[in-house]
C-alpha cells in the first residue's frame, strides 16, 4: 500500500491555500503510517477547528471533526473507551495552545496514550490571520498590525515539561525529520507530540515580508537551530532569542494512562514464556542444520541410484538439489 491509497480522492480539490505547509505534514504522516505497516482499521483521527483540522477529512480513516479546542478531550474519550485503537490528533497552534490549552496541558500531564501532530503557523490562518499564542514577538498579524508585544508560548517545551513521553519539533523545511519523528511518536506509549512549524504565506507570511511559500521555507532553513547545537552555542553565551530550536525535546518511557488504569490486556501465560538462552538457541540451530544435512544426503543418494550418468556427475560436483531436480524433470520428458 502507498500513501496515495490512503487519501480520499473524492474529496479533492482541497480547501487549503496555495503554498500551505499542511500538505507536507500529510505526506510525512501517511508515509510514516505506510512504513510502519499500521492497519487502517486500528487508527482513528481527531481534529478541532482550523486549517490543519480539515486534514483528517482527506484521509481514508475513521475520523472525528470536533469543536474548537476540544480535539484532545474527544481523543481521550476514544482511547479510554477502546484502548486498542491508536488515536491521532491533528491540530493547530490556535486550536490546541489557546482555547484547547487546558486539555493540552493535562493530557501531557496524564501521559494519555495518543499522538498529537500540531501544525504551528503562528496565527489563526482560517479565520483571518489573528495573533495566536505562538506568534513571535514583533511579528505582524491582523490584530497586531504594529507587531506582537507578547512573548510566545513554546509548545514543545511546555509539552516536555508537563510530562509527555515523546516531544519533537521540526519545520516543513525538514520533511524527512518530520516523518521519522511521527514514526517514533506512533510507536511510543503515552502522550506524544510532534510540532511542525509550517508556512502560511496567505494570512501570515505576506504581512511579514515573506510573501511566498519559498520565502517562508527559506526563512525556516536559515533561522532554525538543532537542539544539540543550540546547547553548545548557549554554553558559549550566544544569543539565540531570534532563532527557533528544533529537534527532540523529550524521549521517555513512562507508563501511559491506559496502563496505569489497568486497561491494558494481560499477556497470556504462553506469551510470557521467556526466550531460551543463547547457548540453547545455538544448539537447536545446529541440530536443525544437521537434520537438514542428513535429509539432503538421503535425497541425493536416492537420486543417484535412479539418475543418469550426467545427474550422478552433478551430485559428485556438489550441485544444488533444485538444479538436479530440474535436470531430472528434463530427462523425464
Strand order through the sheet with 114-120: 62-65, 43-47, 86-92, 114-120, 191-197, 166-171, 244-251, 224-226
User: Both 282 and 212 in a single domain?
Assistant: no
* Residues 203-212, mean pLDDT to the nearest whole number: 94
* Residues 189-217, mean pLDDT to the nearest whole number: 95
Domain that holds residue 318: 278-332
Q: ∠ at Cα 165 (161, 166), nearest 5°?
A: 95
User: Both 285 and 174 in a single domain?
Assistant: no
For the record, the C-alpha cell of 275 comes out as: 526466550
User: Both 238 and 285 in a single domain?
Assistant: no
* Residues 246-261, mean pLDDT to the nearest whole number: 95
pLDDT at residue 324 is higher than 70: no
Residue 208, pLDDT score: 96
Residue 280, pLDDT score: 77
Residue 275, pLDDT score: 64
Q: CA 25, CA 117: separation in Å to the nearest integer?
A: 9
* Residues 93-98, mean pLDDT to the nearest whole number: 94
User: Both 210 and 316 in a single domain?
Assistant: no
pLDDT confidence tier of residue 328, bands split at 50, 70 and 90: low
User: Both 184 and 325 in a single domain?
Assistant: no
Number of domains forming the structure of the chain: 2
275 CB burial (10 A radius; 0-12, 13-18, 19+):
exposed
Domain C-terminal end among 203, 233, 260: 260
More confident position, 186 or 3:
186
User: Both 37 and 85 in a single domain?
Assistant: yes
User: Both 148 and 291 in a single domain?
Assistant: no
pLDDT at residue 268 is higher than 60: no
- Determine phi and psi for 254, rounding to 5 degrees: -75, 150
Q: What is the pLDDT of residues 215-247, one digit of tens each?
A: 999 999 999 999 999 999 888 898 888 899 999
User: Both 308 and 230 in a single domain?
Assistant: no
pLDDT at residue 255 is higher than 80: yes
Q: What is the pLDDT of residues 127-185, one digit of tens each?
A: 999 999 999 999 999 999 999 999 999 999 999 999 999 999 999 999 999 999 999 99
Could you say which DSSP state residue 66 is in?
A: -
Q: Is the dihedral angle over the CA atoms 112, 117, 123, 125 positive or is it negative?
A: negative
* Residues 87-112, mean pLDDT to the nearest whole number: 96
User: Both 296 and 252 in a single domain?
Assistant: no
Q: What is the pLDDT of residues 276-318, one digit of tens each?
A: 776 777 778 778 778 777 777 776 676 666 566 666 666 666 6
On whether residue 312 sits in a domain, the answer given is yes
Residue 284, pLDDT score: 81
User: Both 141 and 196 in a single domain?
Assistant: yes
User: Both 229 and 308 in a single domain?
Assistant: no
On whether residue 268 sits in a domain, the answer given is no
Q: CA 124, CA 143: separation in Å to the nearest integer?
A: 10
Residue 323, pLDDT score: 66
Q: What is the pLDDT of residues 35-65, one digit of tens each?
A: 999 999 999 999 999 999 999 999 999 999 9
Residue 132, pLDDT score: 96
On whether residue 272 sits in a domain, the answer given is no
268 CB burial (10 A radius; 0-12, 13-18, 19+):
exposed
* Residues 263-288, mean pLDDT to the nearest whole number: 68
CATH code of the domain covering residue 93: 3.40.50.970
Q: What is the pLDDT of residues 71-85, one digit of tens each?
A: 999 999 999 999 999
102 CB burial (10 A radius; 0-12, 13-18, 19+):
exposed
Strand pairing report for 244-251 and 43-47: unpaired
User: Both 202 and 109 in a single domain?
Assistant: yes
Amino acid at each position: 500500500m502507498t500513501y496515495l491509497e490512503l487519501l480520499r480522492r473524492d474529496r479533492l480539490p482541497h480547501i487549503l491555500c496555495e503554498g500551505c505547509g499542511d500538505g507536507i505534514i500529510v505526506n510525512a504522516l501517511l508515509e510514516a503510517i505506510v512504513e510502519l505497516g499500521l492497519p487502517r482499521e486500528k487508527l482513528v483521527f481527531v481534529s478541532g477547528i482550523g486549517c490543519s483540522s480539515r486534514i483528517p477529512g482527506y484521509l481514508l480513516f475513521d475520523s472525528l471533526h470536533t469543536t474548537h479546542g476540544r480535539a484532545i478531550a474527544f481523543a481521550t474519550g476514544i482511547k479510554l473507551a477502546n484502548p486498542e485503537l491508536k488515536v491521532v490528533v491533528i491540530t493547530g497552534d490556535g486550536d490546541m495552545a489557546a482555547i484547547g490549552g487546558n486539555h493540552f496541558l493535562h493530557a501531557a500531564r496524564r501521559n494519555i496514550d495518543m499522538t498529537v501532530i500540531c501544525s504551528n503557523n503562528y496565527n489563526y490562518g482560517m479565520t483571518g490571520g489573528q495573533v495566536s499564542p505562538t506568534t513571535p514577538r514583533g511579528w505582524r498579524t491582523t490584530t497586531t498590525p504594529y507587531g506582537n508585544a507578547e512573548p510566545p508560548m513554546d509548545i514543545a517545551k511546555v509539552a516536555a515539561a508537563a510530562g509527555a513521553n515523546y516531544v519533537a519539533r521540526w519545520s516543513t523545511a525538514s520533511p524527512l525529520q518530520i516523518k521519522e519523528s511521527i514514526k517514533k511518536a506512533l510507536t511510543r506509549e503515552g502522550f506524544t507530540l510532534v510540532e511542525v512549524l509550517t508556512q502560511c504565506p496567505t494570512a501570515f507570511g505576506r504581512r511579514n515580508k515573506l510573501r511566498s511559500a519559498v520565502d517562508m521555507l527559506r526563512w525556516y532553513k536559515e533561522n532554525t537551530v538543532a537542539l544539540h547545537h543550540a546547547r553548545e552555542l548557549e554554553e558559549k553565551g550566544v544569543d539565540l532569542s531570534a532563532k527557533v530550536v528544533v529537534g527532540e525535546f523529550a524521549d521517555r518511557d513512562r507508563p501511559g494512562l491506559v496502563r496505569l488504569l489497568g486497561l491494558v490486556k494481560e499477556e497470556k501465560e504462553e506469551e510470557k514464556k521467556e526466550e531460551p538462552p543463547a547457548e540453547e538457541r545455538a544448539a537447536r540451530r545446529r541440530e536443525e542444520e544437521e537434520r537438514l544435512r542428513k535429509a539432503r544426503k538421503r535425497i541425493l543418494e536416492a537420486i543417484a541410484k535412479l539418475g543418469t550418468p550426467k545427474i550422478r556427475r552433478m551430485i559428485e560436483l556438489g550441485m544444488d538439489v533444485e538444479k538436479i531436480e530440474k535436470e531430472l524433470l528434463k530427462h523425464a520428458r
